[in-house]
């Protein structure tokens, strides 16, 4: 028998393999709730506009409630022969309320229906991700406040550069994550427009009210062009791009956690809850959670590229290619959500080892810039010359095999006679960070103030 929903002009049913490649119900059942919600809004609008009778609209809305209950009660069979969630729901509705179910599809098509469901789903997912990112920011800002004055080395090229504080480092990620939230919020604004009622591609001759369904579904407005409504997936791409960037931030933080936790560093401890052992080496404790969060960006960025490639070169309006939009988005949202949750747990449990961080911060001549700055300030050298003088002192320290603060005063004076013993004031890491009071700098008082501002903002969110 041909397909019940569209089989009028077909003699036989599709080949087994056609059904397999064509069906999306295995994954689009995920937005059954959005599908039913959108159908109910559409049915009410059809009733309000006199396209169906009020009784018919009520019967459809009530029948859809029953379908939802069946799905949520695990009493619904997602059969592949119905292709997708839209047709599966409508078919079941017909079983429940009879032929009037066939009126639901008046003035719409699966093309606007799927775009509507997908937008509703993504909007909800963005709201959930926003909460998760905020929770991670809170965990980081809390660590930042506790460790506003905990000194650690700052690196460039993975070489010790200048001392910073651990709190400052944590807040750097709070800032990045805030921009991620901003990107998701921007995407959300464009997701939040309604394609419903665009029908197959051209609009409809029925006197529908698209503004009514848009506002019933919480959309800001109906999309203005019916072709655009059913053809565009840039809202999904934009969400994926924001997810990929956010995942990149998580990946960088993960990499730092892996490095900080390694034997050569031992800058942090991680809890039993977020580490694993080895099946052969009894002594091992591995930062697997960090490694897995570091890896998630692979599939998330992959999802973005995969949908971008699907959309590239697709003519208007709908083509079945677009059915492949959903798995990419679901996969990326799931991976990012899991990564955010794992990262939050890791950060909450992570503790710095201040002595180790501090020792490392003093190594590698990390206060050389402070020495150069001192020469500018107290010996009136132009910075370039001060840089050169400092370089010579560093070279001398290297030859002696000592750190900067261990170079004898007379050796320094041999390089630059204007150096006095006041120089030792700035060669220590505490003095160095304390002096970095410029806006956005690492001085503990700055970091504490910034952490407090963030905590207040995040707790209010």
- Which residues here bind ligand ARG, judged by CB under 6 A? 24, 28, 84, 110-111, 114, 318, 320, 322-323
CA atoms of 417 and 148, how far apart (whole Å): 37
Closest separation in Å from C-beta 175 to ligand ARG: 38
Closest separation in Å from C-beta 309 to ligand ARG: 17
CA atoms of 103 and 99, how far apart (whole Å): 8
Closest separation in Å from C-beta 323 to ligand ARG: 4
CA atoms of 39 and 251, how far apart (whole Å): 40
- Is residue 168 among the annotated active site residues? no
Closest separation in Å from C-beta 178 to ligand ARG: 34
**Which DSSP string corresponds to 137-190?**
HHHHHHHHHHTTT-EEEEEETTEEEEEEEHHHHHHHHHHHHHHHHHHHHHHHHH
Closest separation in Å from C-beta 324 to ligand ARG: 8
Q: Please say which residue, 120 or 293, places its beta carbon nearer to ligand ARG.
A: 120
Which of the residues 26, 262, 271, 278 is marked catalytic? 278
CA atoms of 126 and 255, how far apart (whole Å): 25
Report the DSSP beta bridge partners of residue 276: 286
Cis peptide before 127 (omega within 30 of 0): no
Closest separation in Å from C-beta 243 to ligand ARG: 20
Answer yes or no: are the C-beta atoms of 167 and 149 closer than 8 Å. yes
Answer yes or no: are the C-beta atoms of 354 and 149 closer than 8 Å. no
Q: Please say which residue, 111 or 390, places its beta carbon nearer to ligand ARG.
A: 111
Q: Please say which residue, 110 or 123, places its beta carbon nearer to ligand ARG.
A: 110
Question: Which residue from 84, 106, 102 is spatially nearest to 93, judged by alpha carbons?
Answer: 102
What is the Cβ-side half-sphere exposure of residue 143, based on CA atoms within 13 angstroms? 27
Closest separation in Å from C-beta 126 to ligand ARG: 20
Question: Which residue from 161, 151, 356 is spatially nearest to 266, judged by alpha carbons?
Answer: 356
User: b vs e for 87-119, b when ≥16 Cβ sit within 10 Å of the residue's Cβ?
Assistant: bbbbbbbbeebeebbebbbebbbbbbbbbbbbb
What is the Cβ-side half-sphere exposure of residue 256, based on CA atoms within 13 angstroms? 22
Q: Please say which residue, 117 or 193, places its beta carbon nearer to ligand ARG.
A: 117
Q: Please say which residue, 195 or 362, places its beta carbon nearer to ligand ARG.
A: 195
| Other residues' Cβ atoms within 10 Å of the Cβ of residue 205 | 8
- Is residue 157 among the annotated active site residues? yes
C-alpha distances in Å from residue 299, one per residue of 187, 258, 304, 337: 20, 20, 9, 13
Q: Please say which residue, 24 or 366, places its beta carbon nearer to ligand ARG.
A: 24
Which residue reads 């999306």 in tokens? 24
Closest separation in Å from C-beta 67 to ligand ARG: 17
Q: Please say which residue, 20 or 55, places its beta carbon nearer to ligand ARG.
A: 20
How far the first Cα of the chain sits from its last, in Å, is 56
Closest separation in Å from C-beta 84 to ligand ARG: 4
**Which DSSP string corresponds to 384-410?**
HHHHHHHHHHHHHHHHHT--GGGS-HH
Q: Please say which residue, 114 or 340, places its beta carbon nearer to ligand ARG.
A: 114
Kindly give the residue spans of alpha helices, DSSP state H, lying in 49-165.
54-72, 85-97, 110-146
Which of the residues 157, 205, 279, 438 is marked catalytic? 157
81 phi and psi angles, rounded to 5 deg: -65, -20
403 phi and psi angles, rounded to 5 deg: -85, 170
Q: Please say which residue, 24 or 137, places its beta carbon nearer to ligand ARG.
A: 24
Answer yes or no: are the C-beta atoms of 134 and 184 closer than 8 Å. no
Q: Catalytic site residues?
A: 157, 278
């Amino acid at each position: 028998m041909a397909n019940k929903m569209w089989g009028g002009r077909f003699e036989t049913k599709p080949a087994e393999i056609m059904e397999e490649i064509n069906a999306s119900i295995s994954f689009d059942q995920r937005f059954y709730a959005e599908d039913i919600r959108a159908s109910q809004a559409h049915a009410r609008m059809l009733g309000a506009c006199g396209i169906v009778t009020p009784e018919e609209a009520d019967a459809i809305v009530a029948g859809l409630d029953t379908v939802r209950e069946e799905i949520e009660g695990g009493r619904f069979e997602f059969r592949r022969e119905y292709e997708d969630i839209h047709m599966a729901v409508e078919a079941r509705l017909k079983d429940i309320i009879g032929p009037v179910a066939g009126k639901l599809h008046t003035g719409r098509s699966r093309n606007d229906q799927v775009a509507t469901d997908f937008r509703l789903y993504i909007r909800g997912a963005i709201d959930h991700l926003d909460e998760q990112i905020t929770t991670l920011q809170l965990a980081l800002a809390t660590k930042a406040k506790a460790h506003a004055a905990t000194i650690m080395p700052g690196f460039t090229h993975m070489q010790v550069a200048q001392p910073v504080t651990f709190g400052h480092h944590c807040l750097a990620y709070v800032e990045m994550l805030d921009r991620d939230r901003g990107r998701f919020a921007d995407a959300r604004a464009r997701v939040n427009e309604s394609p419903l009622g665009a029908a197959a591609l051209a609009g409809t001759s029925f006197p529908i009210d698209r503004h009514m369904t848009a506002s019933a579904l919480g959309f800001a407005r109906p999309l203005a062009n019916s072709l655009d409504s059913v053809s565009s997936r840039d809202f999904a791409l934009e969400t994926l791009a924001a997810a990929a960037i956010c995942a990149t931030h998580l990946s960088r933080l993960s990499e730092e956690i892996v490095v900080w936790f390694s034997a050569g560093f031992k800058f942090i401890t991680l809890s039993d809850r977020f580490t694993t052992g080895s099946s052969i080496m009894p002594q091992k404790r591995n930062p697997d959670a960090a490694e897995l969060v570091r890896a998630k960006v692979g599939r998330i960025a992959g999802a973005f590229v995969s949908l971008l490639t699907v959309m590239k070169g697709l003519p208007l309006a709908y083509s079945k290619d677009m059915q492949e939009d959903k798995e990419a988005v679901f996969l990326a949202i799931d991976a990012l959500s899991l990564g955010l949750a794992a990262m939050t747990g890791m950060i909450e449990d992570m503790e710095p080892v201040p002595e180790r961080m501090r020792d490392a911060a003093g190594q590698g001549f990390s206060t050389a810039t402070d020495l150069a700055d001192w020469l500018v300030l107290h010996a009136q050298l132009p910075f370039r010359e001060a840089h050169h003088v400092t370089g010579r002192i560093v070279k001398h320290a290297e030859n002696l095999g000592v750190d900067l603060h261990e170079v004898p005063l007379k050796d320094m004076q041999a390089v630059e006679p204007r150096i006095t013993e006041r120089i030792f004031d700035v060669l220590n890491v505490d003095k160095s960070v304390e002096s970095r009071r410029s806006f956005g700098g690492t001085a503990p008082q700055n970091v504490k103030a910034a952490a407090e501002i963030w905590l207040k903002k995040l707790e209010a969110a």
